[in-house]
Amino acid sequence: MADTSSFDYLLELSQRCRAQISGLPSARDKVVKSWSGVGFLVGGHYCVTAMDDIAEVLTEPAATRLPGVKNWVRGVANVRGRLLPLIDLTVFLGEVRTTEQRQRRVLVVEQGDIYIGLIVDDVFGMQHFSVDSYSRNTAASGHSLASYVQGSYLQNDRSWALFRPNQLINDSNFYTVAA
């Protein structure tokens, strides 16, 4: 290296790098666009919702029952000094609960003044889907979940219903909690 200048060394290094670049993918290669969301199970249906729709995921906290409410209102829980109404989404949809409490999770939805916890059967974490696997059709059609679903994604022969918490929050039946 003593015989070559710094510029010549950089030029040689650049040429060696370009010679090795043939094995790398190029920008012309097809890039698969993907969509990511939080996957969960409710009433035997695999669902996914946008990460922006969920403020956090919790284990099911202890709740104080409320008198005179429907059975799908589990009560309220104190979560970091805030009262979080807990709604059992499986029971709200008319399904029979089949999971143990230790497996259940709470999806916290916070939109404006709305702050609620939706109890689901299980949460699978982030799920990634090819945008090409999206379909407006859903396996939940004809089911009470269908009112809150907007299409589905297909992954490994499993259909994941695209759950929209906004549609649930805007449903007047959701606020009819008196027994």
Domain residue limits at 53:
34-175
Domain membership flag for residue 17: no
Query: How confident is the model at residue 160, as a pLDDT?
Result: 95
The pLDDT tens digits for 70-114 are: 999 999 999 999 999 999 999 999 987 777 778 899 999 999 999
Parts of the chain with a pLDDT under 70: 1-4, 22-31, 139-142
SS3 for the chain, per residue? CCCCCHHHHHHHHHHHHHHHHHHCCCCCCCCCCEEEEEEEEECCEEEEEEHHHCCEEEECCCCECCCCECCCEEEEEEECCEEEEEEEHHHHCCCCCCCCCCCCEEEEEEECCEEEEEEECEEEEEEEEEHHHEECCCCCCCCHHHHHEEEEEEECCEEEEEECHHHHHCCHHHHCCEC
Domain membership flag for residue 9: no
The pLDDT tens digits for 66-82 are: 999 999 999 999 999 99
CATH code of the domain in which 98 resides: 2.40.50.180
Predicted structure pTM score: 0.79
Number of domains in the chain: 1
Percent of the chain with pLDDT strictly greater than 70: 90
Domain membership flag for residue 6: no
Domain membership flag for residue 1: no
